[in-house]
Structure 1
């Protein structure tokens, strides 16, 4: 079967990494799967024309609103993978919620990374509950052994007290205006470094050399970065929001903070308590191995794709 996968698929972003992993699962089952960024498809008509010209037989969309609305009326069966912001943010807008509801009616299935995200979606679109499948992200990490850069991941205030501590912010500038705001603030912040995106193998090597990984998102579906850090035996400190709390048990598999003061307090506890550090690393590794199997994810998507035939 020839499939189209549609989404915001810029390299080195969460959606892009997820899409390429799922593409690999699908192609391992003998199908072909082409990735297309939504920036290249401005309307449902453009997607329909693409499907017709390239003879796609089915499609997958990542993000219920951004990709789903472009697949409506495409004439081929499709499935949807929730992105996080679609359920956490876009569903709060009545106009977008109506569009997403129509997308779910047409979709053969939808995939939620967590049970809590499925329940949140079912509140908005109760008739779709039975077609929403829960499948956590599967994680596999690889490190570039030749990558060599040692930094410790902490806060700006710390750097003044402990010059050996640094905060590294890394990744592509998805929102240009926000990126410029960040750059201006970093110019005035000692010990804070902004890096461009690097390969996943180099990123994993860098993470392994850090004291901790910080997730400060205000909205998450399921952060692969958190799961990768767990797999790499690096403690995670994350903002206490539903998407993060769904995969982190506070003081067991990671640390959850709600404000800067709590972040500093918990970070100092992690630094000053080697037993806590060791326990979090061990429990997090056990959790990610048990609940985020790459092999289980592969089987799940290979079975779901059969529903598009």
Structure 2
């Protein structure tokens, strides 16, 4: 079987690229051939490669892509990855295109049961073809780097995110600035590519202002992110909106406690006080951040439970097998 994975902005270093590469690698391990194509930008395909099935990512962008194809695929499934689920589905201008994509899909894949509920609340006609399959973890075992090492005697927060407004990076800087006044050994690394220049201008001005404790370590190749997570004491996600952020899942796989905004996507993979913390406002963020710094026992316990949660609920082999089951079902329907 061959599957074409069609993702927006590929191969730009974004969440969808990380997701499709992980899925492709794990599918290959169980004998499924894959090919990844971009559905946006200068690398966008006009003609799809031959395959048994197309697996699209991001319902709105995939709809735009379908309109410009020389020949539309016989069948496709779609993964809703974040903004299409949390924003485009509710946008009056984009909603018809999202629903059109879902209508044409033989199956709809989401990352958790909460996302499945959201889809069915908005479009109950798709009952029976929405499948929740959690993301698997990535393998960083081959990553090697001696370039990154936190300062001795410091407590390091890491915020892995592309620089764009939805990631709400200035929130983390402003909150930790207040904490740094009383905990001067606090440090923050920002890791991710520049995706919106206007937001980058804001972030880099803050980096320059707080250079004594805040560092932008740049765009780190995904294969080397394991080194970043190893250095971290706590990993952050401050996004306004999320799908199911792979970086937080990966951090948990390293046994790192996470402190994340209480939004769909994040709250589907973090049990507050058990395998991480969910915050609703800056006051809660500062409370949990201080607790993680000052309570070694709690930090270690939450990190261990985070690692166990990732192993129990985010198996890469389970993800691949579950997707293969969907692919097989669709292709069998096509052949009957």
TM-score, reference length from structure 2: 0.83
Q: Matched residues in 1 for 2:200 and 2:88: separation?
A: 22
Give the structure 1 partner of residue 50 of structure 2.
55
Q: Does the 8 Å contact 2:26/2:317 carry over to 1?
A: no
Give the structure 1 partner of residue 294 of structure 2.
272
Q: Matched residues in 1 for 2:265 and 2:16: separation?
A: 15
Deviation of 1:193 after TM superposition, in Å, equals 1.5
Deviation of 1:167 after TM superposition, in Å, equals 1.0
Summarize the Cα distance change of 1:29–1:287 in structure 2 as closer, same or farther, 3 Å threshold.
closer
Give the structure 2 partner of residue 36 of structure 1.
37
Give the structure 2 partner of residue 3 of structure 1.
3
Give the number of aligned pairs: 303
Matched, 1:12 2:13: yes
Summarize the Cα distance change of 1:295–1:2 in structure 2 as closer, same or farther, 3 Å threshold.
closer
Give the structure 2 partner of residue 223 of structure 1.
245
Summarize the Cα distance change of 1:26–1:142 in structure 2 as closer, same or farther, 3 Å threshold.
closer
Give the structure 2 partner of residue 66 of structure 1.
61
Q: Matched residues in 1 for 2:227 and 2:202: separation?
A: 28
List runs of 5+ in structure 1 lacking aligned partners.
none
Summarize the Cα distance change of 1:141–1:75 in structure 2 as closer, same or farther, 3 Å threshold.
closer
Could you list the per-position Cα deviations for residues 40-74 of structure 1 after superposition, in whole angstroms to 9, with x for gaps in the alignment? 479xxx85x412xx434421111111124423671
Deviation of 1:99 after TM superposition, in Å, equals 1.2
Partner SS, residue 71 of structure 1:
helix
Partner SS, residue 135 of structure 2:
coil
Summarize the Cα distance change of 1:123–1:194 in structure 2 as closer, same or farther, 3 Å threshold.
same
Q: Matched residues in 1 for 2:210 and 2:187: separation?
A: 11
Greater helix share, structure number? 1
Q: Matched residues in 2 for 1:84 and 1:202: separation?
A: 24
Give the structure 2 partner of residue 139 of structure 1.
137
Deviation of 1:26 after TM superposition, in Å, equals 3.1
Could you list the per-position Cα deviations for residues 214-242 of structure 1 after superposition, in whole angstroms to 9, with x for gaps in the alignment? 11011011111111111101110001112
Aligned with residue 81 of structure 2, among 68, 80, 83: 83
Give the structure 2 partner of residue 246 of structure 1.
268
Q: Matched residues in 2 for 1:185 and 1:266: separation?
A: 23
TM-score, reference length from structure 1: 0.90
Q: Matched residues in 2 for 1:59 and 1:301: separation?
A: 12
Partner SS, residue 10 of structure 1:
coil
Q: Matched residues in 2 for 1:145 and 1:41: separation?
A: 32
> Over aligned residues, Cα RMSD in angstroms?
2.2
